[in-house]
Amino acid sequence: MGQAVDGEMTMMESVRADLAARIAAIDVKAPYTCARDLKPDINQIRLIAHRNGLNPAVTVAHFVDSALSRGEHGALVHGWLSVLGDAVACDRQDVRACDAFAAACSVRLAG
């Protein structure tokens, strides 16, 4: 049983590393790319996070998509990607964690 838990943790670490790399790649190209062109990449992150139970990351990805739909770009996208990275790294996957990230994103979206 110990091996299954270790294997599961390794798989989750791999997923988180993949998502972090994807976020970093988006961050590099964001200053030179139209907001609408970043949306498929954010959607991929959302789908991977959803498949792997990274609920706060799913929540934040929806907000990032909304921000991109509003046309946010440049430094504003960098801030959103930072929040998304925090959500990917979050150890908690419960509703309260999702609510906390949603509240932070709501303030950011309104600001």
Q: Exposed, middle or buried: residue 74 (CB in 10 Å: 0-12, 13-18, 19+)?
A: exposed
The pLDDT assigned to 8 comes to 62
Q: What pLDDT score was predicted for residue 31?
A: 93
Which pLDDT score is estimated for 7? Answer: 63
Task: Give me the pLDDT at residue 1, please.
Answer: 42
Sorted by sequence, the CB contacts under 8 Å of residue 71 that are 6+ apart come out as: 35
Query: What's the confidence (pLDDT) of residue 74?
Result: 81
Q: How much is the pLDDT for 3?
A: 52
> For each successive 10 residues of the chain (111 residues), what is the average pLDDT?
59 96 97 94 98 98 96 89 98 96 92 72
Lookup result for tokens 């440049």: 74
Q: In this predicted structure, what is the pLDDT of residue 76?
A: 87
> What is the pLDDT, as a whole number, of residue 9?
64
